[in-house]
Amino acid sequence: MTLTIELLDSKKHNRSCFSCGNESLDNYIRKQASQDLKKKIATVFVLIDSPNTDVIAYYTLSSYTIDIANLDETFAKGIPRYPLLPATLLGRLAVDNTFQGQGMGKVILIDALKRALDAITQVASLAVVVEAIDEDAVRFYQKYGFRQFKQYPLKLYLSMNSIASIIP
């Protein structure tokens, strides 16, 4: 058995039993994710324990823009005053209940950050933005250095420079 992270394949990956404790994140991977992938709204990556095809965890990545007014001064300093800045959205991230607390969240978060970092050689992005579903999720992201947007405490960001310094 080998932990593998791969692009969602609706014909291969079994999402029907995925349950992370949050109904909207469960419904998303079961019913919406493959449509979003097909329509190029989000790329969806899943963690499986190959050759088993049950989804253990997943995350999504999309292009995004940040309003410079919402960044804290230290980060905004030195950045040209364009009203909108390019970013990468880690829109959803979840681990199945059975596997929570075993390091899987960290594994998929690092994988997502690495992919976002790799992509900037082709399309520029200043930071990865995450939308936390609740305050518990905010604490999870803060552990890895994410900072809250000034007016949106459930939205956090981590600069690409910081990501480059933590990716092994």
Ligand X SMILES: CC(C)(COP(=O)(O)OP(=O)(O)OC[C@H]1O[C@@H](n2cnc3c(N)ncnc32)[C@H](O)[C@@H]1OP(=O)(O)O)[C@@H](O)C(=O)NCCC(=O)NCCS
Positions that interact with ligand X (CB under 6 A): 20-22, 25, 92-95, 100-106, 132-133, 136-137, 139-140, 143
Q: Using CA atoms, how far apart are residues 99 and 49, in angstroms rounded to an integer? A: 11
Q: Which is nearer to ligand X, 79 or 135 (CB)?
A: 135
Q: Using CA atoms, how far apart are residues 81 and 68, in angstroms rounded to an integer? A: 7
The CB-nearest residue to ligand X is: 105
| 3-class DSSP state of 6 | strand
Q: Which is nearer to ligand X, 73 or 134 (CB)?
A: 134
Q: How far is the CB of 116 from ligand X (least distance, A)?
A: 16
Number of Cβ atoms within 10 Å of the Cβ of 54: 15
DSSP state of 76: H
Q: How far is the CB of 56 from ligand X (least distance, A)?
A: 9
Pair 96, 19: CB distance under 8 Å: yes
Q: Which is nearer to ligand X, 119 or 133 (CB)?
A: 133
